[in-house]
Amino acid sequence: MATKAYKKIYTKLEAITKATVSLKAAGVSNDELATVEGRLAQVVKTKGDLVTLQVFAGTEGIPTNAEVSFHGEPPTLKVSDQLSGRFFNAYGLPIDGGPEVEGEERQVGGPSVNPYKRRQPSELIPTGIAGIDLNNTLVSGQKIPFFADPDQPYNQVMADVALRADVDKIILGGMGLSNDDYLFFKHSFEAAGALDKIVSFVNTTEEPPVERLLIPDMALAAAEYFAVDKNEKVLVLLTDMTLYADALSIVSNRMDQIPSKDSMPGSLYSDLAKIYEKAVQLPDGGSITIIAVTTLNDGDITHAIPDNTGYITEGQLFLRADSDTGKVIVDPFRSLSRLKQLVQGKKTREDHSQVMNAGVRLYADAQNAKTKLENGFDLSDYDLRCLDYAKDYAVELLSIDVNIKIEEMLDTGWRLFAKHFKPEETGIKQALIDKYGKWQ
Partner 1 sequence: MSTFGKVTGIVANLVTVQVDGPVAENELCYIKLHGTDLLAEVIKVNGDKASVQVFESTRGLRNGDSVEFLGRMLEATLGPGLLSSIYDGLQNDLTTMTGVFLKRGEYTDPLDHEKLWDFTPIAKPGDKVIAADWLGEVKEGWLPHKIMVPFSFKGSYTIKDIVPAGQYNIDTVIATLTGEDGEQVPVTMTQHWPVKVAVKGYKEKPRPQKIMETGLRTIDTFNPIAEGGTGFIPGPFGCGKTVLQHAIARQGEADIIVMAACGERANEVVEIFTEFPELIDPHTGRHLMERTTIICNTSNMPVAAREASVYTAMTICEYYRAMGMRVLLLADSTSRWAQALREMSNRMEELPGADAFPVDLSAIISNFYSRAGMVVLNNGKTGAVTFIGTVSPAGGNLKEPVTESTKKAARCFYALEQNRADQKRYPAVNPIDSYSKYLEYPEIISYLDAKIEKGWVKKVLKAKTMVLRGKEMADQINILGDDGVPMSYHETFWKSELIDFAFLQQDAFDAVDGLCPLDRQKYMLDLILDICDRHFEFDNYEECRAWFKRVINALRQMNFSKWGSEDFEKFHTQLNEILSENGN
Name which of residues 316 to 355 contact partner 1 (CB under 8 A): 316, 333-334, 336, 338-339, 341, 353
Residues 141 and 280: beta-carbon distance below 8 Å: yes
Residues 90-119 that bind partner 1 (CB under 8 A): 107, 110-119
Residues 185-204 that bind partner 1 (CB under 8 A): none
d(C-alpha 285, C-alpha 368), whole Å: 45
Residues 6 or more apart whose CB falls under 8 angstroms from that of 47 comprise none
CB-CB neighbours of 322 under 10 Å: 16
Q: Contact with partner 1 (CB under 8 A): which of 259, 391, 392, 396?
A: 259
Q: Contact with partner 1 (CB under 8 A): which of 380, 401, 403, 439?
A: 380
| Nearest distance from C-beta of residue 36 to partner 1, angstroms | 19
When the beta carbons of 44 and 404 are compared against partner 1, the nearer one is 44
State the pairing for strand pair 169-177/198-204: parallel
Give yes or no for residue 304 binding partner 1 (CB under 8 A): yes
End-to-end CA distance of the chain: 71
| Nearest distance from C-beta of residue 108 to partner 1, angstroms | 11
What three-state secondary structure class fits 176?
Answer: strand
Q: Name the DSSP class of 74.
A: -
| Nearest distance from C-beta of residue 410 to partner 1, angstroms | 17
| Nearest distance from C-beta of residue 30 to partner 1, angstroms | 5
Single out the residue of 77, 93, 420, 111 nearest to residue 278, CA to CA.
111
Residues 229-248 that bind partner 1 (CB under 8 A): none
When the beta carbons of 149 and 307 are compared against partner 1, the nearer one is 307
When the beta carbons of 11 and 371 are compared against partner 1, the nearer one is 371
Mapping DSSP onto H, E and C, the string for 149-160 reads: CCCCCHHHHHHH
Residues 408-427 that bind partner 1 (CB under 8 A): 424-425, 427
d(C-alpha 204, C-alpha 201), whole Å: 10
Q: Which stretch binds partner 1 (CB under 8 A): 154-162, 214-222, 239-247, 303-311?
A: 303-311
d(C-alpha 86, C-alpha 101), whole Å: 9
Residues 238 and 232: beta-carbon distance below 8 Å: no
Residues 122-161 that bind partner 1 (CB under 8 A): 141-142
Q: Contact with partner 1 (CB under 8 A): which of 15, 18, 31, 105?
A: 31
Single out the residue of 308, 356, 392, 318 nearest to residue 148, CA to CA.
318
Q: Contact with partner 1 (CB under 8 A): which of 29, 64, 179, 403?
A: 29
| Nearest distance from C-beta of residue 147 to partner 1, angstroms | 11
Give yes or no for residue 174 binding partner 1 (CB under 8 A): no
Residues 211-230 that bind partner 1 (CB under 8 A): 228
| Nearest distance from C-beta of residue 26 to partner 1, angstroms | 8
Residues 6 or more apart whose CB falls under 8 angstroms from that of 99 comprise none
Q: Which stretch binds partner 1 (CB under 8 A): 97-105, 173-181, 239-247, 310-318?
A: 310-318
CB-CB neighbours of 90 under 10 Å: 29
| Backbone phi, psi, residue 235, to 5° | -110, 125
| Nearest distance from C-beta of residue 384 to partner 1, angstroms | 11
| Nearest distance from C-beta of residue 187 to partner 1, angstroms | 34
Residues 41-100 that bind partner 1 (CB under 8 A): 44-49, 73-74
d(C-alpha 410, C-alpha 416), whole Å: 10
d(C-alpha 16, C-alpha 331), whole Å: 46
| Nearest distance from C-beta of residue 180 to partner 1, angstroms | 32
Give yes or no for residue 360 binding partner 1 (CB under 8 A): yes
Give yes or no for residue 394 binding partner 1 (CB under 8 A): no
State the pairing for strand pair 233-239/287-295: parallel
Single out the residue of 153, 160, 141, 161 nearest to residue 180, CA to CA.
153
Give yes or no for residue 257 binding partner 1 (CB under 8 A): yes
When the beta carbons of 121 and 174 are compared against partner 1, the nearer one is 121
Please name the helix (run of DSSP H) or strand (run of DSSP E) that holds residue 372, with its range, or none: helix 352-374
Q: Contact with partner 1 (CB under 8 A): which of 63, 94, 150, 283?
A: 283
Give yes or no for residue 438 binding partner 1 (CB under 8 A): no
When the beta carbons of 10 and 189 are compared against partner 1, the nearer one is 10
Single out the residue of 326, 306, 90 nearest to residue 218, CA to CA.
90
| Nearest distance from C-beta of residue 141 to partner 1, angstroms | 7
User: How many residues interact with partner 1 (rule CB under 8 A)?
Assistant: 84
| Nearest distance from C-beta of residue 125 to partner 1, angstroms | 15
Residues 6 or more apart whose CB falls under 8 angstroms from that of 381 comprise none
